[in-house]
Chain A
Amino acid sequence: VKKREIFELKAELNSDKKEKKKEAVKKVIASMTVGKDVSALFPDVVNCMQTDNLELKKLVYLYLMNYAKSQPDMAIMAVNTFVKDCEDPNPLIRALAVRTMGCIRVDKITEYLCEPLRKCLKDEDPYVRKTAAVCVAKLHDINAQLVEDQGFLDTLKDLISDSNPMVVANAVAALSEIAESHPNSNLLDLNPQTINKLLTALNECTEWGQIFILDCLANYTPRDDRESQSICERVTPRLSHANSAVVLSAVKVLMKFMEMLPKDLDYYGTLLKKLAPPLVTLLSAEPELQYVALRNINLIVQKRPEILKHEMKVFFVKYNDPIYVKLEKLDIMIRLASQANIAQVLAELKEYATEVDVDFVRKAVRAIGRCAIKVEQSAERCVSTLLDLIQTKVNYVVQEAIVVIKDIFRKYPNKYESVIATLCENLDSLDEPEARAAMIWIVGEYAERIDNADELLESFLEGFHDESTQVQLQLLTAIVKLFLKKPTETQELVQQVLSLATQDSDNPDLRDRGYIYWRLLSTDPVAAKEVVLAEKPLISEETDLIEPTLLDELICHIGTLASVYHKPPSAFVEGGRGVQHKRLPARAGSGESAESPDVGQAVSAVSDAPPAVIPSQGDLLGDLLNLDLAPPTSNVPPVPSSMQMGAMDLLGGGLDSLVGLQCSSLMVSSVLGGAPVGMPAGLGAAPAVGGGLGDLFDLGGGVGVTAGSYIPPKTVWLPAMKAKGLEISGTFARRSGVIHMDLSFTNKAMSVMTDFAIQFNKNSFGLAPAGPLQVLTPLSPNQTVDVSLPLSTTGPVMKMEPLNNLQVAVKNNIDVFYFSCQYPISLLFVEDGKMDRQVFLATWKDIPSENEAQFQIKDCHLNSDAASNKLQGSNIFTVAKRTVDTQDMLYQSVKLTNGIWMLAELRIQTGNPNSTLSVKCRAPEVSQYVYQCYELILRN
């Protein structure tokens, strides 16, 4: 500012005329706004403070707030006026004074502020009280100690019981903010009484006040599901509020408290239904709010897909939507895509792929690929749509299409390879690393079917050093694959690429991989083949899923910036304020097993990247591991696609040793379990039964009576060393028709453990917890608690290897831990497994003889009746008995929880300790396990 200007303003400010003074102050404020330095006028402006004119006073205050910090000594000059104003008969002036004083961030002033503030907090006028409440938060920000020493926090707490709802709301806001900087203080001290007060104020205060109160409520953890329900009931009316922020904050409270409600409760279903309409309504708000809503809906859809599963249409993109709304809608469309709506979704996506915005078009193309992977029935249509798009020759469309087709190949091997020729035509137009890498992968993977694969790959090799790392790595692997498939013609090529990678490159990853291949090829080409051409793990259907613990945390932040960024507050907030992690209340061992596979995939024991999830764009490490490295690092031979018993046994053994060695077998087996397994036709979703491990049954001498089965002793499943001091041992038992998992938790750590919860990964027979894990009291150090967890067999099914393998995730306040264990298969033999004789005969004939397997049971000294009784104890029922000479033949049936029947013929020769067992079953790989069962039961 020119000196002259300042001089003139000074003169005007000191003018006698009120109007002139006011105009001068206005000019000062205008200069201040545009960033000019007018601090030199401080004394002159402050002199104008003593005035009856409220408008002038406010202007001077505005100036003070801005410059007080740079002129702390002069700011003191204003104190007297403030203190005087705090006594003014007009409540508006009293409030103005206390409001402004709080904004003057000068340490010296704070001392003078205390007395007026104390008075204002108890003022008769609610307007002054609500302003004073916020002022406590201001003062706390400047001098926290002072606020505590002066007892303002207690006064603030008292205001929660104020008769005026707005005072309550502001007090809640102030307390919440102060509490954030004292994470461990029990400042807010929410209890059923205060909650009740808040809920009462909620009905009466302004829209903003409702938001403060709802956000505060969301931090409360109800004592039990009943309290949780009653709060939900009082919060749901807010879903009809015109203010979207009120709605979203209410959704946050409901989403959080819902965690505690039992799923079979009627109210739970009602609540789910009530949530959908307001969420849809948010989409008719202004675009900026739509964006916030969509980011939140993205979280909600991941957490509880059932809420919006029928609302696909509202997420269709409108031509005039801003691009940020379009992209978010597309994301949600992919998540909601299912067999039921796939036709509509595909038609829409095809439409979008012809739009103008490049990012949007790319995402739409990518979405088509995701649909193919997610909904198998649509794969063919998706592929043909993608081919149509490739024909448009629009460069970025082609590249994007190739990237997703690579994933489709991964998901459905040997199905769509006919399109490779079309893809190869576009080789020259690919200029983006991701597309080039994808194309190279395809060429390498299907080298044996592409006649000129060597030429194609060679053409990439020319500019090897100009390629991005992603492409270089991919090219290296592809050429090695090619060499392994066509060794005679490509020796030169492979040597060229190995030397390029190891000698001419300064990228350590590339060099390392080059050396590994080189050594493999030179020492043991067969092993190299097994490693490089190994079956790839299955890719997951869902992509870009937020990791479950983060998702739960973000659910606690619905409506806030964290939910918009999809990042925890600690990622973007400086300092310690408000960044402590929030958690959903525990509904221990919820039946929500749909989540468990993600839990499993999030922590990978062998390779550090999650191998089973499609990496997001540009995730180099994930991509590479995904494509090529995961099988070699795990060093376990892949599951052959047609299962043979011998192979299975071998594998089981190999896996067991791996489990023993690493104690963290979860990922290994998950990768293997997920590897493509050719299922025999007619087997359906639950194909087979695993062999029992020590399922020992005690007949206890009782003849003809089904005795309680013998329960094997507990074994340690999760050693304390691997789980930050938590040791878990356990066993399985079938008691009166219900499967139980008996667990012992031992706390070998120094601190108390709480908040236990359990989840299972998908498994062969859909075992899932039937109720929450009941570890009610906190587990103190050195304490052990025994829990019996009833299991159901209605969870999601995925073939495991071995079949009876169960992967478990246990959570407590410290962390989430994973282990795997094996259950005796006889757990799954149901009580009504006795087949009618006629049916037995017919079924026996019906099952083809190649499904029959024969086994020898050695060293069994039981006669046929004793054997029959003993087996019946484990629900193996004798349907008929035939005696030929000295040989007794028992015809027996067993039914599994998933409805699979097994028929057996047991031949026992008197005096001969060796018996013969023939097993017939439509799922022949089960036979092996049945045999193991017989052996264990009969011998013990």
Chain B
Amino acid sequence: MIGGLFIYNHKGEVLISRVYRDDIGRNAVDAFRVNVIHARQQVRSPVTNIARTSFFHVKRSNIWLAAVTKQNVNAAMVFEFLYKMCDVMTAYFGKISEENIKNNFVLIYELLDEILDFGYPQNSETGALKTFITQQGIKSQLQTKEEQSQITSQVTGQIGWRREGIKYRRNELFLDVLESVNLLMSPQGQVLSAHVSGRVVMKSYLSGMPECKFGMNDKIVIDKQGKGGTTDEAGKSSGKQSIAIDDCTFHQCVRLSKFDSERSISFIPPDGEYELMRYRTTKDIILPFRVIPLVREVGRTKLEVKVVIKSNFKPSLLAQKIEVRIPTPLNTSGVQVICMKGKAKYKASENAIVWKIKRMAGMKESQISAEIELLPTNDKKKWARPPISMNFEVPFAPSGLKVRYLKVFEPKLNYSDHDVIKWVRYIGRSGIYETRC
């Protein structure tokens, strides 16, 4: 199991050091600093073995988190734990920065004592932790016996993510379908790979212990219902709107065995914001933009670049925050740009032309052309021509996912599904959206 956990600043100074196992000595702290943080080259692996000691690290801005062990631990678990640790810290004091860590080091030690015992991760749900680890630290005297046992039963209980007795005057929930659409396209416009990774994020402000059931236009569910139904027509019409989900994963509140057997998504949600599910689709993706590049080398000192972007969705919808990034060679000396829409700038420090458009409706196209002057070089190595990348945001789900229902049942309190105010929003963003040129 995890033998120790260290947090360093960018210089390699230790901010937090907690050792759980006897086989990890103080020298481990220095070994990581010398061999990884101070190493000159790029990080070649997130797992490093130094003198039979293994170091797992993740970086958040310029803070290094390292878990250390001498045993054959579950590596996936260690990384999941490190991410979780980051989430917990962020939930307590915001951004993970040197200053915040220094100011909260007592709290961090307290957390580390609670969520890792002898190197074994324990309940690390922020909701539960916040009930008994507070920054004031004087809770113990004030708690009544009932409160104490409520805390322990929540921390160890089956529904560790929610406490009993939550009350809201207005029962309300917000569903966000957040998708990032990823594309790799060849210069000729052939889709080399495309997938959507989506998340359903829920903000729930519901009283009591509500049972929820979530439904979407999952092809498997719709087809099953279509079969059960009497008319073929219903199956056909819904078949068009359903989407094939390659795979999905769920928050721990979702009953996985039920999903496995019936493919229904039922759960008691945590209070407040959390990620209900993640999913991935690869079929019939709506690619909101198409990038058509044209790069011409004119002699050895000049490049001509023309890029056309086409929006491919309903004209009534508006895409926002559009940004096209056209890489330029390292030996660029000057750039002249002309674009029909938006603003374009050559950013020498980033070796790219950045073209920004605030808004663009569907079924439109726009164009940019640039002349790039190059310095003559002796460098034999050819310019690698990084792909043209794009950023945007669209108000629909590129995968075609639709929320069909989210039903809420709370048998003990007297509010029904109809009383709950529900909001659904779809946002599609670019993930890695690249076209080679």
Contacts and interface: CB of A to CB of B under 8 A. Distances in A.
A170 interface: yes
Nearest to B49: A572
B155 to A, nearest CB: 6
Interface stretch (B247-255, B344-352, B362-370): B247-255
B432 A320 contact: yes
B161 to A, nearest CB: 9
Contacts of B14: 33-35
A291 B246 contact: no
B252 A242 contact: yes
Contact of A33 (B82, B105, B153, B249): B105
Interface in A199-220: 203-208, 211-212, 215
Contacts of B113: 58, 61-62, 99
A215 B157 CA distance: 21
Interface stretch (A279-287, A439-447, A536-544, A891-899): A279-287
A289 interface: yes
B156 A126 contact: yes
Nearest to B275: A242
A344 B186 CA distance: 11
A821 interface: no
Interface stretch (B40-48, B335-343, B396-404, B419-427): B40-48
B80 A354 contact: no
B252 A564 contact: no
Interface stretch (A88-96, A420-428, A489-497): A88-96
B249 A324 contact: no
Interface in B357-409: 380-382, 384-387, 389
Nearest to A135: B118
A208 B120 contact: yes
Contact of B13 (A34, A244, A249): A34
A563 interface: yes
Contacts of A26: 106
Nearest to A361: B384
B100 interface: no
A206 B15 CA distance: 29
A333 interface: no
Contacts of B1: 173, 177
Contacts of B380: 392-394
B246 A280 contact: yes
B49 A565 contact: yes
A448 B202 CA distance: 74
Contact of B15 (A33, A137, A141, A284): A33
A80 interface: no
Contacts of A127: 151-153, 155-156
B377 to A, nearest CB: 14
A131 B115 CA distance: 11
Interface string A99-132: 1001101000000000000000000011110110
A481 B80 CA distance: 58
B75 interface: yes
Contacts of A316: 184, 192-193
Interface in B19-36: 19-23, 26, 29
Nearest to B145: A89
B118 A102 contact: yes
Interface stretch (B135-143, B225-233, B289-297, B310-318): B135-143
B259 A208 contact: no
A705 B224 CA distance: 59
Interface residues of B, number: 103
Given A211-B74, A561-B73, A125 B149 contact: yes
A245 B74 contact: yes
B370 to A, nearest CB: 20
Interface in B67-113: 69-77, 79-83, 105-106, 109-110, 113
A313 interface: yes
A633 to B, nearest CB: 36
Interface in A306-330: 313-314, 316, 318-320, 322-324
Interface of A: 26, 29-30, 33-35, 52-56, 58-59, 61-62, 66, 89-93, 95, 99, 102-103, 105, 125-128, 130-131, 134-135, 137-138, 141, 164-167, 170, 173, 177, 203-208, 211-212, 215, 234, 236-238, 240-245, 247-249, 277-278, 280-281, 284, 286-289, 291-293, 313-314, 316, 318-320, 322-324, 344, 347-348, 351, 354-356, 392-394, 557, 559-565, 569, 572-574, 577-579
Interface of B: 1, 13-17, 19-23, 26, 29, 42-47, 49, 52, 54, 56-58, 69-77, 79-83, 105-106, 109-110, 113, 117-118, 120-125, 132, 137-141, 143, 145, 148-149, 151-153, 155-158, 160, 184, 186, 192-193, 195, 197, 246-252, 255-257, 259-260, 275, 277-278, 280, 380-382, 384-387, 389, 432, 434, 436
Q: Which 10 A-B pairs have the closest CB atoms?
A: A55-B137, A277-B247, A127-B152, A245-B76, A237-B260, A245-B77, A237-B256, A569-B72, A288-B46, A208-B121
27 contacts: A26-B106, A53-B137, A54-B137, A54-B139, A58-B110, A66-B19, A90-B143, A99-B117, A127-B153, A166-B157, A206-B252, A240-B250, A242-B250, A247-B249, A249-B74, A278-B249, A281-B280, A284-B197, A286-B83, A316-B184, A351-B436, A354-B385, A392-B380, A561-B71, A562-B72, A564-B75, A573-B70
